[in-house]
Chain A
């Protein structure tokens, strides 16, 4: 029987093994985003080496010496990178289905509507924009929609109905 490492993985008893295989604890062990895969100390060391190389190259090329980075700067830059990597998720989001359905519905309604009655599309945009939990999507769709509408129409519409509330 394969024994589990005690302490780290619980006991090798039936209860311990059942707990080990429980979805709750499997989920806890799962990496949630790419930021968790980054070894910050290694990255910082590589980053320091990269900066040192760059400065050496610049010096050799006769360029003006840039301001040297402090330890605090290195930590700050690496943390910015970790934040960036953290936005790349490693687990499927719980609301992915509803999100996908939401924007598909919006696109279907907005773009397959070939009527000349733009006020219908506009109303639709207002409704979807106000109810959409994703304001930037509405922002983009609005701009795409803008390009399909004359400037005069859209200016009048903005003046009286202000769909730019979506931009917030």
Chain B
């Protein structure tokens, strides 16, 4: 090998080593920035009818997690069902033209609430087109059927040093309000009454400190012991067509604790898209 070739080779190898070492040390940052977690779907399922109420049932899949369930189903008086009989609640998930069932066996009783646990038998489905709820009797006949409403949701977070709204999420026309948790448990004895006012900013350019610049879309009042550190989920259906998408709104909540003496403790917290501790 000629001398000039040797020096060229050495210079190129040196440059390659520098670039190679940079590639090695920057790989983690590159991977983190490039390959984010892919969420296949995230739905909150609901049925709101007098004879059947489904709430808090989540259907979620990303590259490493899957949930299907963790909700409750309340069945009212349904003519086609007989009290004391065994039935199967079957969620029929339609994916790519095929139907897949997720079953929960129950014994029917009027006005009974059933807890639907997490069930991962359909975790391989990568998309969900529509969902139907069927109640099937022991002869495999469908005795009740209802279309399930799917809300494509995203998680939102709301917290300060002592208080946090857990498991809140929104879609364009729906919000699961979450529930209040606190590290200060004395607040329940000190202030037995609570009021939570969920609101959004009316005019984004307006004064954020002005209370008249907010639309209160949901107000919850009750005993502190029923709403603090208790998984008591409530939902809100939003009229997207006349009021615009909830996803574009700046959401916040005003929490008012009060007692019999007329003393109050009020504070507000903003909802954000970023989780924090």
Q: Are A and B co-members of a single complex? A: no
Report B's interface with A, CB cutoff 8 A: none
Report A's interface with B, CB cutoff 8 A: none
